[in-house]
Amino acid sequence: MSSKRVVIFAGGELSPEYFNLLDEDDFIIGADQGALFLISHGYTPDIAVGDFDSVSPEALQDIESKSKKTITCDAVNKDLTDSEMALDIAMDQQPDSILLLGVTGTRIDHSLASIQMMTRALQRQINCYVMDTHNYITLTGSQAVINDLGYTYVSLLPLTPEVSGITLEGFQYPLTNATLKLGQSLGVSNKLVSSSGTVTIRSGLLLIIQSKD
């Protein structure tokens, strides 16, 4: 069964404000503490997944009783993070897009891993987004329309050693057929000059990060 959008609540930084983002038709996955966050606010995950090593046995029972389906795994003998397991399940739903919430926080290793795993969704031609209180992140290998969501800045960071043929339309600092190499900061802190802008690239993978302080 195809779902238009899958929303994943993981165990990082989460806010009740995120519930305002949900649509009635969203397929909701709770990963580890993200599942507990959902049920504690009266939401029913379509799937709860994880090793659940960060919740109490009583909380796990609550998650299992209040989720439509629960998938558990061993906390030690596993190869994937809870977020990546959730992403695999999300991609199996064949959605148009996946929104990742609670995948960033104090653990920079988890944050970077979550951002990098967007490449897996892109390979399946699924739009994937990471959102937290200060950032909205997407990834493109071709073209992306960037809508003004109330963030101050739009930064472009290469995820591959080189991204070429970068052309920006609707930005304060336009680029035409430019190249960004890994480690360069040329694409940091640009701004939209209208309600939307377009980022087009010829080769490589480019992170597009809308951010605010």
pLDDT digits (tens, 9 = 90+) for 34-59: 999 999 999 999 999 998 888 888 99
What pLDDT does residue 74 have?
A: 62
Q: What is the mean pLDDT of residues 51-69?
A: 90
**Quick one: pLDDT band at residue 1, thresholds 50, 70, 90?**
very low
What pLDDT does residue 200 have?
A: 97
What pLDDT does residue 75 have?
A: 54
What pLDDT does residue 91 have?
A: 96
pLDDT at residue 77 above 70?
A: no
What pLDDT does residue 187 have?
A: 93
**Quick one: pLDDT band at residue 3, thresholds 50, 70, 90?**
low
What pLDDT does residue 139 have?
A: 96
What pLDDT does residue 46 have?
A: 97
Indicate the burial class of 76 (C-beta count within 10 angstroms; 0-12, 13-18, 19 or more).
Answer: exposed
What pLDDT does residue 135 have?
A: 95
pTM: 0.91
What pLDDT does residue 78 have?
A: 60
Nearest alpha-carbon partner for 66 in 37, 90, 45, 89: 45
Percent of the chain with pLDDT over 90: 79
End-to-end C-alpha distance for the chain, whole angstroms: 40
pLDDT at residue 99 above 80?
A: yes
Q: How large is the greatest C-alpha to C-alpha distance in the chain, in angstroms?
A: 57
pLDDT in tens, 111-127: 898 899 999 999 999 99
Residues 6+ apart with CB under 8 A from 161: 181, 182, 204
pLDDT at residue 27 above 60?
A: yes
Interatomic CA distance for residues 54 and 193, integer angstroms = 44
Q: Domains in the chain, please, with CATH? A: 5-133 (3.40.50.10240), 140-211 (2.60.120.320)
Q: Which helix (H) or strand (E) holds 136?
A: strand 135-140
pLDDT in tens, 142-159: 999 999 999 999 999 999
Give the chain's mean pLDDT.
92
